[in-house]
Amino acid sequence: MEPTASEIRIDAAPLLRVYQDGRIERLLGSQTVPPGLDPKTNVESKDVVYSQETAQSVRIYVPGTVVTSAQKLPLLVYFHGGGFCIETAFSPTYQNYLNALVAEAKIVAVSVDYRRAPEHPIPAAYDDSWTALKWVASHYDGNGPEQWLNRYVDFENVYLSGDSAGANIAHHIAVKTSKEKLDCMNLVGIILTHPFFWGNEPVGDEVKNPAVRAIIEGIWRLASPTTSGSDDPLINPIDDQSFGSFLGCKRVLICVAEKDILKYRGWYYCEKLKNSGWDGEVEVMEAEGEVHVFHLSKPCCSNAVAKVKKVAEFMNQGKA
């Protein structure tokens, strides 16, 4: 019997479902909010197209105090999470988080929207993120197309960050900056929150959760259908012999959560980086009793507030 168009071909709940006719139903992360002035934090945001070819945009955030100061501010380039499949840079989740972080840290943030799988499988997310970073870097001399970046950004103090899949992207983009140098931009550090890394060989207590392992591996194969598997260097860069050799920064902050199975990869990243010969500083912040990306779903809890303060402190310690 032939399958009907309404039958589910891939069930990746709670993220999404793919139907036989190719229709994709995203179960999470589809809501968006417009940019603008946030009265609670006095942070202002706007959307700007960074790629005419793909029609992708970034959302730029500046603190309200910036317009009254001649001081240039550190820049955070942020890549959202969602298993490469859901969420956008324009969701209320990321709007709330970045408004709070920009206000606390007194920085400029650029939140990158990238094409998502399965319509645009890997490496589209990485390609778009690199294109966005190059577009940002084009403003270093004050002559770029976006005046907020021309006026307010200190390109000697640039950080990359993301959560989950976005943290994975941040790592790979940091590596790419060392191989295809953006001489006009000084990448000081990266902040990896609950990073989405994996591997065939279990780390820590991962082996105790075979069902969860299968879900994680399934999400990766959905995002990257041509992958070689869980030891693909894109999902498992940590076991690469050159790990750390090409990380294009000197400071790394890894944020993990006690009840998140991905925390073991975060700690493993730290351990391997320390032993790789990389000449830099790495630290881990673990949130007790918390689950994956808790800071996005519970932004007002004490651990989420502490995380925002830690990231702000990390970025401001690195000021030149």
Q: Position of tokens 């999400």?
A: 219
DSSP collapsed to 3 states, 34-96: CCCEECCCCEEEEEEEEECCCCEEEEEEEEHHHHHCCCCEEEEEEECCCCCCCCCCCCHHHHH
276 is catalytic: no
Residue 30's φ and ψ, nearest 5 degrees, are: -100, -15
- What 8-state DSSP symbol labels residue 201? S
Contacts of 207 (CB under 8 A, 6+ apart): none
Residue 24's φ and ψ, nearest 5 degrees, are: -115, 125
Catalytic residue (one of 111, 161, 164, 224): 164
Q: How many CB atoms lie within 10 A of CB 47?
A: 15
Q: Which of 226, 170, 164, 155 is nearest to 195 (CA)?
A: 164
**Secondary structure (3-state) at 192:** strand
- What 8-state DSSP symbol labels residue 3? P
Q: Is the peptide bond before 299 cis (omega within 30 degrees of 0)?
A: no
Q: Distances in Å between the alpha carbon of 292 and those of 147, 151, 164, 255, 305?
A: 36, 36, 8, 10, 16
Catalytic residues: 164
